[in-house]
Structure 1
Amino acid sequence: MKKAFAGVLASATLLTSTLAHASGWPVFDAANFVKNTMTAAQALKTEIYENTNIVYQNRMMLNQLQQAVGLDAVSMAAQAKGIGEDIDKYQRYGQSLKDLYGSVADTADFLTNVQGLVAASGKSPDQWFRDQRKLLDTGDKTAKRLFGLGQAVTGNNQKLAKRRRDLQSDLDLNQTAQATAQLTNQMLDVMAGQNADLLQLIGAKTQADAVKDQRENADTAEKMAASEQLARQQADELQQLRRQVFNRGTLVGK
């Protein structure tokens, strides 16, 4: 299994390196993207299984300890507390693994959807992505929705992967669990790099558009502030004119 993962990882790393040095835009290889994403999902499933076994073993240890007789009560309580804390940690870690697996599955669905859209268009992947960039530039809702979904998927993957690593730093993993976790992390890193390439292809103009929108919003806010200031100034001048007219009327009356 490790050899299989290593082979996939080597080919995926080579692809990522090639993309980084490609001229202009990354090359979209949908089949490879989906394959690596599914491999990462399978790695997560393996790690979930390994983690479930560890939780089960700790529960067995706790059960045996609780049924033991003739042991020092203080020492037994301390050991039971430590095992219970380990169970809690592995359960939290296991939930993060399950959440991340769901997110990776969503990524696979997203990539498969993009692959289908490219195939249905009858265009080359490069031309299809060029068209998507033009549609984004003109504010096309469908293209924005597609890019937004890609952003959400990638952001969720990154968030859950970070949570997983934070929990992992608190765990005392055995050698098998460490090897499994390392392979999973490597596949998640490759997948994250490929997703970044895909989002670059889809949303080249989006960042520039966001900056443009921010500038337009700032200009609008500045114009509104100037308009409000002018309105206040006009109101003050009108109030001053009314006082002058009132004072003149009072003097004439006298």
Structure 2
Amino acid sequence: MRRILLLGGLVSVLSLSVTPAHAQWAVFDGANFGQNVMIAARELQQIDNEISSLANQAQMLVNQARNLASLPLSTLSTLQSTMSQTTALLSQAQNIAYSVQSVEQQYQQAYTSISASMSDSALFSQAQTRWQNSVGGFEDALKMQARAVGNIPSDSGAMTQLVSASQSSTGALQAAQAGNQLLALQSRQLSDVIAVLSANGRAQELDRAREAAAEAEGQAQYEHFAQHDAYVPGAVSVFNDGN
């Protein structure tokens, strides 16, 4: 296209440089011709520069459009759903919930209020509560572990999609969005790890507390038994005196 424009310009210059002096004769002005050629060349060079500038601007706009294009893939709803399921499972903790107030109240009632003045039935009731707390804690830990393991296949699929989207991204925005979603996925996986560790720790501490309370209960039962009057032997008549 540029060559056609240049050729067209030169033809125009040549046609203008030949001016008729008389009706039958034409006089060639070499100086004027050279000057016209230089002017035409400069004008054509300027047009060529403007065409190049417009092409660069068009390419820049295309690149900007690519950089501003959003990632067509979003895993946010899936991550939020999985987080909600994990949170719901934590809220279903048996007996002693994941709450400072609940721990303080129920721990005080079942683990630190043992005394020799309590009846045998009260001691047995507290021991039964502590045993149920320990069993429930281990069950909650197993459920949380199952939830974390169950999330692995969906996490693997989401990670594969995000990595593929990041590698095939057409602009900076798509790459950044894919990276942000990968970070969100890692954060969700980290929350699973924290939940599992918390559930396991809760179960172990409840069992340790049960063992400690069992020792205190044994001491209370001993003191309770020691409060009874000691056995006093007496004379026993096996046969009647008349026989």
Superposition TM-score, scaled by structure 2 size: 0.34
Asked which structure has the greater RCO (Cα within 8 Å, sep 6+), the reply is: 1
Larger Rg: 2
Q: Which has the higher helix share?
A: 1
Superposition TM-score, scaled by structure 1 size: 0.32
